[in-house]
Every structure is written in structure tokens, then in C-alpha cells.
């Protein structure tokens, strides 16, 4: 058996693993205890990741559709690529360049994300490129950047969690989303640290907590303001830190003081004594961290919500010091790198703003084009999909590594919009629900079959190394981009070799906020990953940011002046219950890969509706009975799971499935005005027994 060190294809932890390939073709996933992030531990998804490598579980031949309503049939690569080039070219000629859209994914490697952005802007010259990471942690990214001048999910290594004094975890459930990370929270408590979990559900993570606060969905912002009010009222402000390392405390204070704890208790359902206990626990600890995840971020006020939690850190001096800070538990495998390298509508590689003339000039030089040829910012992910097939919107779309028919908000509407496109091309490993709507489907190589870097939630750049040859009939996305560029008249600048692509990415990122200039494949192999920024080859990388100064022009962090506002949709007589959505441990994101793994399907075979016994009793529902859940956007049918782990005013659905139980048929695409994040985490629904509907 030959073994290769690599990383899991799924979540942002990017657990280290060893892939063993036997002569007969069998593949084994082995532990790699020396990789510091997961120290050998893998969750069930990682342990079974080899299942999707089997040709039986995936696409191995391109598919094309004859006519918009024809059936998908097998085709050769030249025919499929030619159809894609023609479809994109024809649309640009008829409707203009911005009528061609590109939609990427937070699971693509850095090299793919970089070249996909370059393809959109240099070959297609469209402004309309965005990616599914917009749906993931864009609110945290916006708030992080506003407060500290730089956004890196965790500005410290994950292991620091075990050594801090107190963690407030808001809207995150690592026990289900990244189980190996849970050891750091356990070690935190073993070391005498305290854990406060804020979540409407009593999750498996919340069960570990010293204190669990269960706010009404959509009220985290009010809760953070109420807690800041108590910090001030109880004299717990770190005056020296605030005066020497921050700006904007007064306006933030004025807003917090308007949020009386009793008012906040009415809004959130969290009692004043519980808030006070949390505040004292956090402020009085020597060191502390606030960590947010999707529960806090996926709201139409997500940026303000994260800003309010950062305010709390700043007020008590828990940022920019060893063992303290704010961080975001990113979701997707390359959610961090995916947003750094130019597949986001408003950004160029190196985390540069697309509106910054100096950044445009630098990238244009690396790409060998005139800065004026670079398009400006385009539509965000949901807005891109929402305009599909419409006048003034996109008419053709190239989609790589994403499955919005399951993962986008108001997913039924999104699927309709995609059907209205003149042309849709999808590159994916499997025939996902979105790929089924395409005119051309390109079967792509996957994690164990191609080398490439990702950047985990800590900002650690790591290397997934190819261990296997892709099945015959499958090509890498880099090959596809090179061939499409050539088909559209650009013969240079799209290397198929990932290391060559990475070398160009390093030059493009040099001097930018996310500086990879000193990171090479060789160093990553030798050092178990390198933390950015790393401006030159002699630089050790930067595991901990902001210790001396924040990345703002004057080195000081910024408070955010924010106020509570209701969610875009609150319960009423017609839709009287809150819906919140999330993940289960045995499925990943849209489930396109994990639903094809027998062990995972057995453990998590389908959607369900979690509801409290009081609500179940009111509805006359018993455990396992089918329920119909309706919102203003659609309906979903799934069995009841009765549990007192959820608030009586709220139901929860996991979002990994298509079909009748698709949770995202219900969710609300109301957007955060800053980050353009949709409001996945709260909307109003009605619930009834399916037999009654
Ligand atoms: Fe893979 Fe995430 Fe599980 Fe680790 S925690 S094995 S990276 S899915």
C-alpha cells in the first residue's frame, strides 16, 4: 500500500488524514496524528470520504442536453467543452458580457478559486462572479474587517481555545459540524476555563457549557447589546484597553445604554440574571474569546450582530492579546481561501478590494491586462441567481462546485430561475440537483485525485496532495478552465499544473491583506501548513494576529454603533412559529456527496422537523408523524422529532436534502445590506400534521 498525506474534502477544519492506496485499487483513510489541528481524530464524514471516489458514486463522462428541454446524454470532452464555450460566447454577444455569470464554491481549492476569478474577469470580462461562501460567513467577514481592518476566520490557532479563560460561542455547534474541534472546548473546561453557549437549541455543544442562553431566533444582536449595557453598568469596562487600542466606544455605548436589560429580556427571552452571570463570567476571566458561527451570522442584520459581539470583546479588553479575541468558525472546506482569491463579487486576489485603484493596477499587471479592462463589482450570490434568465440579469451561467438548488434560500424559486437561463454549465463530481438542470455537465476530479491548497478556518494554508489517478473520463477543473479559456481566445495564463497556478497566486497576493508571497508547496509540506500573512520565504507566518496593533490605518480596533432591529420576517397569525435551520453530524452542506455514502445515509437518512413537546401537543402531533411546514415561499414535508431541546416557539430543520423535505424551500432571501448574506437562520412558518393539509 502507498500512503499520501492529505486533508479531508469537507469542512473548514481540513483535518489531516493519510490516504492509503492498495494495488487492487482499494482506498483506505488512515489517521495522521501528527497534524496539529485534529491530532488524528476524524468525524464520520472524514472516515468515509473515500466512498465518493468510487466511479459508481459519481460522474465519469460529460453530459450534454440537446435543446433546452431535451434529456442529458453522454458526450465527448471536446463536444462538451465546445458547447460551453459557444454557450458563453453566444450569450455575451447577444446580451453583453455581464449577462454571463460565474458561480463558484467554498470547497474549491485556492488555485481553482483564483483561476475561476481570473477566468471571469479576463476571459469573460464579466462583473458577475460570486460564490456560495456568500451564504456562509460573509457577515462575519464584513464585521471582522470593519472592526480589525482584516478578516481571518480565527486570528489565532484553534488550540488557543483550550487555553483561554472563557469562551462565548454564539450560534455554533461544533459537536455536529466539526466534531474533532470539540476536544479544544473540552480541554478548555478541564483547564478551568468556562464555556457559554448561546443557541436557541440545546445542542450537543450546549450540553458541555457552563451556561447556555437560549434567545429567541433573530435576537442575538439585542442580547449582545444588553450584555454590553451590563458590562458598562457593572463597571467592567477595561478602560485602558478601550482608550489605547480602540475607537468609537462612545457611540457604541450610547446604543447599548438604550438597550435596557429588562427590554432585552423581553426581546430575547434570556433573563437579566442569566445575562449578568454571562457578563461577569466573561469580563472577569483573565482572557476570553467570542466565537460566532452561522447561527449569529446568517441574518439580514448579520454584520451588525457580529459587530455587537465584537464590541463586547473590545469593551472588556479581550482582543489583540494572547489568548483573547474574536473569531468565526468558518463552515466550508475552503471558506476562508475561497473568499481571499477573487471569486467574490467585490474582491480581487489577496483579499483586495475590486474598487481600490492600486489593487486593480497590481492585479492587472500580474494578469497582463490594462486595469481599465477589469470589470467592477458584480451582483452577490443570491442576487445573481435571482436575476437568472431575467431581462437585465444573467442569461448564461458557469457553475463550479456548488449546489444552490438545495443550498440557496428560497430554493424552489432559485431552481425556477436556473431553468429560465439560456445556458447553464455545471462542473461537479456528482450529478447534483443543480447539475440535473444544466445544458452541459462536466465531471470533475476531486480532492484525492488532484493537488491543491486550501486555507482552513485558522488561516493555515495547507496542501491536499493527489494520491490517486482520476477515473478515465474525468478532468480537473484547472484543465477545464484552460480549455475553455483557449476556446474563448485566451491561450495563456491558465496553467493546468496546480503548483504553477499557486506560484501566480502568490505573486497576485503579494502585498495584499491576505499575503501568501512567502508560502510555497515545499514549505507547506515541511511545516504542516503556513499561516498567512507570510510576506516572504524567511517569514515564519502569522498564527496570531493583532497582538501589537490591529490592521486598521491607525492600529486601533473600531467599535460598531449598532441597534437591535427585528428580523425581516417575524411570526404572525398566519405563520406563527419561528423556523431555524442547520446541519447534522452525518451530512455535509447540500449533501451532494455525503448522501451518496451508505454509512452516512444510514445515520442521517432524511430531513426532520424538531419541535418542542408543548408545540407538538398543541398541534396534536406525535414523534415520527409527518408534518407540513409552510412559509410565504414554499412548503416542506418531513417527520416530527419531538424534543425539549428546542424552544416551544421554534422549529428546526436540517438543510441537506432536496425533494419534499427541502428546508431551503422555506427560508427567506432577505439580505444583509452590508454583506448581502441571506436570512437563512430565521423566518416565520406554520406547522401542521401532513394528514391535515
Ligand atoms: Fe472532515 Fe470536518 Fe469531519 Fe474533519 S471535522 S473529518 S474536516 S468533515
> Does the C-beta of 502 come closer than 6 Å to ligand 1?
no
> Does the C-beta of 29 come closer than 6 Å to ligand 1?
no
Residue 185: what pLDDT? 97
Q: Which residue, judged by its Cα, is nearest atom 4 of ligand 1?
A: 15
Q: What is the dihedral of CA 239, 244, 247, 253, to 10 degrees?
A: 0
pLDDT at 303 over 70: yes
pLDDT at 693 over 60: no
3-state helix, strand, coil in the chain (%, to 5): 35, 20, 45
**For a pLDDT cut of 70, what percent of the chain falls above it?**
100
Residue 358: what pLDDT? 96
Spatial contact of 83 and 76, defined as CB atoms under 8 Å apart = no
The Cα–Cα gap between 25 and 29 comes to 13
> Does the C-beta of 180 come closer than 6 Å to ligand 1?
yes
Spatial contact of 255 and 562, defined as CB atoms under 8 Å apart = yes
pLDDT digits (tens, 9 = 90+) for 551-570: 999 999 999 999 999 999 99
How much is the pTM? Answer: 0.96
Residue 536: what pLDDT? 97
CATH for 577-692 is 2.40.40.20
In ligand 1, which atom is closest to the CA atom of 588? Answer: 8
Which grid cell sits at 512?
495584499
Residue 43 Cα, ligand 1 centroid: separation in angstroms?
Answer: 6
| Number of residues that make up the chain | 693
Residue 173 Cα, ligand 1 centroid: separation in angstroms?
Answer: 14
The arithmetic mean of pLDDT across residues 337-362, rounded, is 93
Q: Which residue, judged by its Cα, is nearest atom 6 of ligand 1?
A: 46
> Does the C-beta of 456 come closer than 6 Å to ligand 1?
no
In ligand 1, which atom is closest to the CA atom of 17? Answer: 6
pLDDT digits (tens, 9 = 90+) for 630-676: 999 999 999 999 999 999 999 999 999 999 999 999 999 999 999 99
47 Cβ neighbours under 8 A, 6+ residues apart = 29
CATH for 139-329 is 3.40.228.10
Residue 181: what pLDDT? 96
DSSP string, 312-360: HHHHTT-SSSTT-EEEE---STTHHHHTTTT-STTEETTTEETT-HHHH
Pocket test for ligand 1, best of 36, 37, 46 (most atoms within 8 A of CB): 46
Residue 331: what pLDDT? 87
In ligand 1, which atom is closest to the CA atom of 42? Answer: 6
3-state DSSP assignment of residue 624: coil
CATH entry, 63-135+336-497, from 3.40.50.12780, 3.90.1170.50, 3.40.50.740, 2.60.120.590? 3.40.50.740
Spatial contact of 153 and 328, defined as CB atoms under 8 Å apart = yes
ipTM above 0.85, yes or no: yes
Pocket test for ligand 1, best of 10, 14, 32, 181 (most atoms within 8 A of CB): 10
Which helix H or strand E contains 686, and what residues bound it? Answer: strand 683-689
DSSP string, 126-167: -S-EEEGGGGTTHHHHHHHHHHHS---S-SS-GGGGGGSSEE
Q: Which residue, judged by its Cα, is nearest atom 5 of ligand 1?
A: 178
> Does the C-beta of 14 come closer than 6 Å to ligand 1?
yes
Q: Which residue, judged by its Cα, is nearest atom 3 of ligand 1?
A: 43
pLDDT digits (tens, 9 = 90+) for 108-130: 999 999 999 999 999 999 999 99
> Does the C-beta of 179 come closer than 6 Å to ligand 1?
yes
Fold of 2-57: N-terminal domain of TfIIb (2.20.25)
- Domain borders along the chain are 2-57, 63-135+336-497, 139-329, 577-692
Residue 68: what pLDDT? 73
> Does the C-beta of 42 come closer than 6 Å to ligand 1?
yes
Q: Which residue, judged by its Cα, is nearest atom 2 of ligand 1?
A: 11
Spatial contact of 122 and 489, defined as CB atoms under 8 Å apart = no
pLDDT at 584 over 80: yes
Residue 692: what pLDDT? 59
Amino acid at each position: 500500500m502507498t500512503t499520501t498525506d492529505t486533508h479531508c474534502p469537507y469542512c473548514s477544519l481540513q483535518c489531516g488524514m493519510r490516504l492509503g492506496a492498495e494495488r487492487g485499487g482499494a482506498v483506505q483513510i488512515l489517521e495522521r496524528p501528527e497534524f496539529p489541528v485534529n491530532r488524528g481524530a476524524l468525524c464520520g464524514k472524514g472516515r468515509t470520504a473515500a466512498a465518493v471516489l468510487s466511479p459508481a458514486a459519481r460522474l465519469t463522462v460529460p453530459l450534454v442536453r440537446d435543446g433546452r428541454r431535451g434529456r442529458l446524454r453522454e458526450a465527448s470532452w471536446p463536444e462538451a467543452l465546445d458547447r460551453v464555450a459557444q454557450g458563453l460566447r453566444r450569450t455575451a454577444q447577444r446580451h453583453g458580457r455581464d449577462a454571463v455569470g460565474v458561480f463558484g464554491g467554498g470547497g474549491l481549492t485556492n488555485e481553482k478559486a483564483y483561476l475561476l476569478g481570473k477566468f471571469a474577469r479576463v476571459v469573460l470580462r464579466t462583473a458577475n462572479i460570486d460564490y456560495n461562501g456568500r451564504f456562509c460567513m460573509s457577515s462575519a467577514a464584513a464585521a471582522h474587517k470593519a472592526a480589525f481592518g482584516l478578516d481571518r476566520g480565527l486570528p489565532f490557532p484553534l488550540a488557543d481555545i483550550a487555553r483561554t479563560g472563557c469562551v462565548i460561542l454564539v450560534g455554533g455547534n461544533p459537536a455536529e459540524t466539526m466534531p474533532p474541534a470539540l476536544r479544544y472546548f473540552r480541554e478548555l473546561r478541564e483547564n478551568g476555563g468556562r464555556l457559554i453557549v448561546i443557541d436557541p437549541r440545546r445542542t450537543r455543544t450546549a450540553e458541555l457549557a457552563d451556561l447556555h442562553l437560549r434567545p429567541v431566533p433573530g435576537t442575538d444582536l439585542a442580547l449582545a447589546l444588553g450584555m454590553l449595557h451590563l458590562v458598562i453598568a457593572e463597571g467592567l469596562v477595561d478602560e485602558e484597553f478601550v482608550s489605547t487600542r480602540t475607537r468609537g466606544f462612545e457611540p457604541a455605548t450610547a446604543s447599548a445604554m438604550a438597550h435596557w436589560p429588562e427590554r432585552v429580556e423581553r426581546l430575547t427571552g434570556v433573563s437579566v440574571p442569566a445575562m449578568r452571570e454571562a457578563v461577569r463570567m466573561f469580563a472577569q476571566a483573565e482572557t476570553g474569546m467570542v466565537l460566532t458561527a452561522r447561527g449569529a451570522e446568517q441574518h439580514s442584520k448579520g454584520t451588525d450582530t457580529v459587530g455587537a459581539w465584537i464590541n463586547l470583546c473590545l469593551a472588556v479588553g479581550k482582543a489583540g492579546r494572547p489568548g483573547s479575541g474574536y473569531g468565526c468558525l468558518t463552515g466550508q472546506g475552503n471558506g476562508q481561501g475561497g473568499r481571499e482569491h477573487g471569486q467574490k463579487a467585490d474582491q480581487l486576489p489577496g483579499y483586495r478590494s475590486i474598487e481600490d485603484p492600486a489593487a486593480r493596477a497590481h492585479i492587472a499587471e500580474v494578469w497582463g491586462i490594462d486595469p481599465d479592462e477589469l470589470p467592477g463589482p458584480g451582483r452577490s450570490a443570491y442576487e445573481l441567481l435571482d436575476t437568472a434568465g431575467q431581462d437585465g440579469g444573467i442569461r448564461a451561467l458557469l457553475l463550479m462546485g456548488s449546489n444552490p438548488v438545495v443550498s440557496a434560500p428560497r430554493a424552489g424559486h432559485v431552481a425556477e430561475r436556473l431553468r429560465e437561463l439560456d445556458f447553464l454549465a455545471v462542473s461537479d463530481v456528482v450529478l447534483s440537483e443543480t447539475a440535473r438542470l444544466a445544458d452541459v455537465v462536466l465531471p470533475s476530479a476531486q480532492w484525492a485525485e488532484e493537488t491543491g491548497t486550501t486555507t482552513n478556518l485558522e488561516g493555515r494554508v495547507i496542501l491536499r496532495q493527489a494520491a490517486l489517478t482520476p477515473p478515465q473520463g474525468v478532468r480537473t477543473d484547472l484543465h477545464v478552465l484552460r480549455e475553455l479559456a483557449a476556446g474563448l481566445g485566451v491561450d495563456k495564463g491558465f496553467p493546468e499544473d496546480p503548483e504553477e497556478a499557486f506560484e501566480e497566486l502568490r505573486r497576485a497576493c503579494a502585498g495584499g491583506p491576505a499575503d501568501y508571497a512567502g508560502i510555497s508547496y515545499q514549505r507547506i509540506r515541511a511545516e504542516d501548513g503556513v499561516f498567512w500573512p507570510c510576506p516572504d520565504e524567511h517569514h515564519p507566518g502569522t498564527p496570531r494576529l493583532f497582538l501589537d496593533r490591529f490592521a486598521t490605518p491607525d492600529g486601533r480596533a473600531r467599535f460598531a454603533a449598532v441597534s437591535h432591529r427585528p428580523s425581516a420576517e417575524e411570526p404572525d397569525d398566519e405563520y406563527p412559529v419561528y423556523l431555524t435551520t442547520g446541519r447534522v453530524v452525518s451530512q455535509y452542506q447540500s449533501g451532494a456527496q455525503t448522501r451518496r455514502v451508505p454509512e452516512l445515509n444510514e445515520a442521517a437518512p432524511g430531513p426532520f422537523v424538531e419541535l418542542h413537546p408543548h408545540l407538538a401537543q398543541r398541534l396534536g402531533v406525535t414523534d415520527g408523524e409527518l408534518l407540513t411546514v409552510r412559509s410565504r415561499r414554499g412548503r416542506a414535508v418531513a417527520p416530527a422529532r419531538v424534543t425539549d431541546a428546542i424552544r416551544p416557539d421554534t422549529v428546526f430543520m436540517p438543510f441537506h436534502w432536496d425533494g419534499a423535505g427541502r428546508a431551503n424551500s422555506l427560508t427567506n432571501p432577505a439580505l444583509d445590506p452590508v454583506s448581502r448574506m441571506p436570512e437563512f437562520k430565521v423566518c416565520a412558518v406554520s406547522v401542521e400534521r401532513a394528514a391535515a393539509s
